[in-house]
């Protein structure tokens, strides 16, 4: 996908009201990568049966970064849905949107189903492309996201991809980071320093409530130098997961991108100086009744709320569990 626009970038700028284009090969429909006279990149989808009025009746999302219009040419007479990028800072996201649209195009047997598919994809991506994050994730938040993504990758090997992504509730502001069937999983990240503690940031995080089982999973993640062969930046991990999703279930890409966007990640931010390494060590604890914790059931909400506290991992050895795979299946 990206290579089509890269080729167009190297071509001379077209005349006003003209576009240079490259046809995406091997598709049932006529799909074009375009560059206009303002050097704006775009995606055009030709409709031979549906009228421009039907296309215009669709209430497509409106973004500052992207324009969606109906184009009617007279010689020859052709109707296109034109999706054009206005802000080059969003080129990566625009590329993902186009890939998402194309991934479903050949599944559509009629022009109406194609139009509905494109409309649905654009609606899914609305928040992701519209939101601009003012601040990049600080290092503790990067560590937290890396921990949750590490657990998500583990789920990919156990349950189907869509169920795994749907189970990730952390970005949705749930009290638990993952919910699978009636089991909850709280994910924490810590460094390998001498201070073997994890921070619990609310009275709800370790509240079992009506869950069948609740687990605390702790990953050890350290800052690293670029020279370490195992070192990675946050963008590397996210790109790896995106490629896996595109290969195995591309319909889930927009859902995943929406999740990381809600978490606070943006491709516009530069994480190239923050290198990390995931240690082989990790901890799993079963949060049972005797597990040391402070929950909403233990405090008077009239006087206390937003409770934060730390747990010493060395004091939790009696609650350690070797394997939780059986609880990760649906």
Q: Which of 34, 41, 45, 127 is nearest to 92 (CA)?
A: 41
Q: What's the rounded mean pLDDT across residues 180-203?
A: 88
Q: What's the rounded mean pLDDT across residues 25-38?
A: 88
Confidence of residue 232 (pLDDT cuts 50, 70, 90): very high
- Assess whether pLDDT exceeds 90 at residue 275: yes
Q: Which of 135, 99, 105, 126 is nearest to 117 (CA)?
A: 105
- Assess whether pLDDT exceeds 60 at residue 66: yes
The one-character DSSP state at 140 is: H
Task: Give the end-to-end CA distance of the chain in Å, rounded to a whole number.
Answer: 35
Confidence of residue 28 (pLDDT cuts 50, 70, 90): confident
- The per-residue pLDDT of the chain, averaged, comes to 88
| Predicted structure pTM score | 0.67
Q: Which of 179, 180, 175, 173 is nearest to 207 (CA)?
A: 175
With helix as H, strand as E and coil as C, how does 255-303 read? Answer: HHHHHHHHHCCCCCCCCCCCEEEEEEEEEEEECCCCCCCCCHHHCCCCC
């Amino acid at each position: 996908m990206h290579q089509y626009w890269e080729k167009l970038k190297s071509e001379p700028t077209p005349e006003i009201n003209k576009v240079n284009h490259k046809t995406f090969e091997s598709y049932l429909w006529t799909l074009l990568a375009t560059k206009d006279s303002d050097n704006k990149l775009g995606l055009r989808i030709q409709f031979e049966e549906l009228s421009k009025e039907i296309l215009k009746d669709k209430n497509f999302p409106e973004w500052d970064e992207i324009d969606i219009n109906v184009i009617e040419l007279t010689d020859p007479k052709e109707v296109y849905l034109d999706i054009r990028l206005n802000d080059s800072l969003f080129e990566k996201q625009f590329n993902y949107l186009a890939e998402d649209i194309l991934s479903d195009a050949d599944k559509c047997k009629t022009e109406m189903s194609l139009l509905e598919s494109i409309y649905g994809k654009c609606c899914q991506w609305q928040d992701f492309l519209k939101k601009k994050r003012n601040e990049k994730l600080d290092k503790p938040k990067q560590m937290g996201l890396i921990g949750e993504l590490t657990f998500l990758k583990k789920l990919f090997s156990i349950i189907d991809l869509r169920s795994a992504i749907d189970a990730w509730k952390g970005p949705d502001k749930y009290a638990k980071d993952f919910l699978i069937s009636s089991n909850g999983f709280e994910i924490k990240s810590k460094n390998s320093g001498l201070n073997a503690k994890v921070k619990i940031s609310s009275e709800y995080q370790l509240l079992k409530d009506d869950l069948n089982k609740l687990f605390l999973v702790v990953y050890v993640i350290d800052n690293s130098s670029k020279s370490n062969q195992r070192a990675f930046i946050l963008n590397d991990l996210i790109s790896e997961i995106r490629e896996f999703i595109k290969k195995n279930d591309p319909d889930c890409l927009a859902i995943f991108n929406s999740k990381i966007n809600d978490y606070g990640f943006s491709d516009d931010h530069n994480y190239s100086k923050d290198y990390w390494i995931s240690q082989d060590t990790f901890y799993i604890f079963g949060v049972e009744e005797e597990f040391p914790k402070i929950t909403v059931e233990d405090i008077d909400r009239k006087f206390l709320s937003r409770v934060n506290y730390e747990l010493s991992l060395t004091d939790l050895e009696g609650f350690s569990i070797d394997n939780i795979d059986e609880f990760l299946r649906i």
